[in-house]
Chains A and B, each alone.
Chain A
Amino acid sequence: MVPLNHFLILSGILFAIGTAGVFLRRNLITMLLSIEVMLNAVNLTFVAVGRYLGTVDGQIITFFVMTVAAAEAAVGLALVIAVYRHYRTTNVQRLDQLKG
């Protein structure tokens, strides 16, 4: 049986990759996908700890996180489409209209 530590290490690595993507990339779609990677890393932690504790609570919370992630992806990608229609770019550095 795989120990819990290995699940947590994998989850931490995936979360770090997602965080790096959010901070380093300038494309809005890639940033949204990086947030998805972070959410999936958290899901992995919930399921692994739930399995370790012998309860189904981790899987139920994962169900809710996936639901919220779907809502976030729908609204986020709609915003990306709206931004692209208006500015003809998805590069966040060119969206500087609110810059003081």
Chain B
Amino acid sequence: MEPSAIAFYLFAAVSVIASIGVVGQRNPMYSVMLLNVGREDPAPGLVSALGPKTLKIGAVLSVVLGIEIVWALSRVGLGYFAQDDAARSVSSVARIGAELFTRHAFAFEATSILILVAMIGAVVIARKEH
């Protein structure tokens, strides 16, 4: 079996187990940590630290960043293994950037407005009433 296939099945197993843990945990804090193990999405981890089970944001940040770094390194390793022709043709950052800023430029700008509106909305909804 190729190294890339071994890596895929290994990470697939980790991903499925972590996702089952996300759904199955009683404490949402553990669910967030498992989501970070299975994926890489630090935003829910940071914000849910403000929830009922309060944890120091610094601790959450350090754990999330640690997991992020490990996962980023593992992804780099995965990319290194998967250097066949198909992967090389679609893994060019320059090509993705060129497509994003030419053919999909309008969608890109619209997305930035969406994020701005969502950010303002989140601040307005979550602020304390005086």
Contact = CB atoms under 8 A, between A and B. Distances in A.
B16, B25, B48, B84 — most chain A CB neighbours (10 Å):
B48
A36 B39 contact: yes
B65 interface: no
Interface string A34-66: 101100100000000011101111011001100
A52 B12 CA distance: 18
Interface in A1-37: 1-2, 6, 10, 13-14, 17-18, 20-21, 24-25, 27, 29-30, 32-34, 36-37
Given A10-B15, A32-B44, A37-B23, A79 B114 contact: no
B19 A51 contact: no
Contacts, number: 146
A86 B75 CA distance: 42
B111 A78 contact: no
B114 A67 contact: yes
A60 B115 contact: no
A35 to B, nearest CB: 10
A36 B100 contact: no
A36 B15 CA distance: 13
Interface string B12-56: 100110011011010010011001001101011001101110000
Q: How large is the interface on A (under 10, 10 to 19, 20 to 34, 35 or more residues)?
A: 35 or more
A95 interface: no
B52 A36 contact: no
A82 interface: yes
Contacts of A40: 38-39, 41
Interface of B: 2, 4-5, 8-9, 12, 15-16, 19-20, 22-23, 25, 28, 31-32, 35, 38-39, 41, 43-44, 47-48, 50-52, 82, 84, 86-87, 89-90, 92, 95-96, 99-100, 104, 107, 111, 114-115, 117-119, 121-123, 125-126, 128
